[in-house]
Amino acid sequence: ERSATSGPKFTQVADSRIPLSIPYTTPASEFLYGTSVVEAALSSRREPRRKLYKLYIYNGENREDPDQDARLERLARRSGVDVVRAGNDWLRVMDKMSAGRPHNGYILEASPLPRLPVTSLGQLTTVDGQDGFEVSIDHQSREEAAVNGTSNFIKIPRSRHGRKPLVLLLDSIVDPGNLGAIIRTSAFLGVTAIAISSRNSASFTPVVLKASAGASEDITLFMVNKPAGFVVDSKNAGWKVFAAVAPAKKHDPAMPISLSTDQLNDPLSEDPCILMLGSEGEGLRWNLRSKADVDLYIEGSNQSHNVDSLNVSVAAGILCTTFLKRSKPKQLAPIRQAQDEVIEVPETAKLF
């Protein structure tokens, strides 16, 4: 997206008239900082993506990587983004933009991150040859729709293994570091989208974006106002729902089927799936867990008497890997056969 200003794009050199307050292009502008986050926003191919307004590059003393500065400037130019080369006098303003956190000399002014508000996930479908699924969109203001978009069709890449999409539902994840880490892990492993409970989860602060290492700019994000209704309506549309839980000491007949990650086969080959994760302290709320089709837990080694659970972002990585790992054809017999064979080695090939 081009910036709000018109005309040819050029590199500005900040003069001595430094603003006393932070300059905003729009009242809703956010400031992204740090190399990975800024580069991800400039390189993002997500639809919809942020509007990008202005890139500030610190051009003062002790710059160690001018090639990286030039590369990010080229990325900004290709997106039609104004670039300001800021000298020593601007360092204080840049520090304000990043709220005093390390920015590595890069600040990008942009619109808010698109997070489509949805009430449920719909059926898998194909539109103009593109695979995807429908969603029911919750109410948006005109300003929110301009940021989040209004399309109710979510595109997904065609799976070479015939896998259906996997969507995470995060509820009560209040630590911004954990939220960012889950987003980063999910994007790396190939999760289709992340739905986040809007009432009891961490806000999308720059800390979340930094912890995601730029992954938040590429993965599809949903906001959910009523998670319980979201789960019920998505199940009715054909989605299978898994609840991430701690291992049960005894089976409760009133609870869903309970499986360990070792027992899980390949659910994505049959149904699109939702994996719900709750807070570290209390776990998944009962009104969500009771609506799951399957309780899913990670079996520990039972070697420690003091550690009986995992950090939620670590657990998310293990669980997502269980869903998304590629099934490999059984090759044990050929390998054993190869081990039993005696291979004759020519004399000229022997080293000793």
Mean of pLDDT over the chain: 85
CA dist 336 and 323 (Å) reads: 29
Angle (CA) 83-89-95 rounded to 5° is 75
CA dist 241 and 276 (Å) reads: 8
pLDDT, position 22: 86
pLDDT tens across 240-252, in order? 999 999 887 666 6
CA dist 197 and 222 (Å) reads: 9
First to last CA, the chain: 66
CATH level 2 (architecture), domain 11-110:
2-Layer Sandwich (3.30)
> Which residue did the predictor score with more confidence, 6 or 171?
171
User: Above 70 in pLDDT, residue 308?
Assistant: no
- Kindly write down the DSSP assignment for every residue of 13-49, as one continuous string: E--S---SS---SSTT-EEEESHHHHHHHHH---SS-
User: Above 90 in pLDDT, residue 309?
Assistant: no
Whole-Å CA distances, 222 to 13, 31, 188, 197:
39, 21, 18, 9
Stretch 163-178: mean pLDDT: 95
Q: Where are the alpha helices (H) located in 127-250, listed in sequence order?
A: 142-148, 176-189, 206-211, 227-236
pLDDT tens across 243-277, in order? 999 887 666 676 778 899 999 999 999 999 999 99
Q: Which of the four pLDDT bands, split at 50, 70 and 90, describes residue 352?
A: very low
Looking up tokens 């039993």 gives 340
CATH no. of 116-324: 3.40.1280.10
CA dist 215 and 204 (Å) reads: 13
| Weakest mean pLDDT among 41-45, 205-209, 236-240, 305-309 | 305-309
pLDDT, position 65: 87
| Weakest mean pLDDT among 68-72, 190-194, 225-229, 337-341 | 337-341
What are 294's strand-pairing partners? 242, 257
Phi, psi of 276 (to 5 degrees): -100, 135
Whole-Å CA distances, 34 to 95, 96, 259:
12, 14, 41
E strands present in 96-192 = 106-110, 116-127, 130-137, 153-155, 166-170
Phi, psi of 101 (to 5 degrees): -90, 155
pTM of the full predicted structure?
0.83
User: Above 50 in pLDDT, residue 212?
Assistant: yes
pLDDT tens across 104-161, in order? 999 999 999 999 999 999 999 999 999 999 999 999 999 999 999 999 999 998 776 6
DSSP-based helix, strand, coil % in the chain, nearest 5 = 30, 25, 45
Name the residue type at position 272.
P
pLDDT tens across 312-350, in order? 999 999 999 999 986 544 443 443 443 444 444 444 333
What residue spans define the domains of the chain? Answer: 11-110, 116-324
Is the distance from CB of 317 to CB of 185 less than 8 angstroms? yes
Q: Which of the four pLDDT bands, split at 50, 70 and 90, describes residue 220?
A: very high
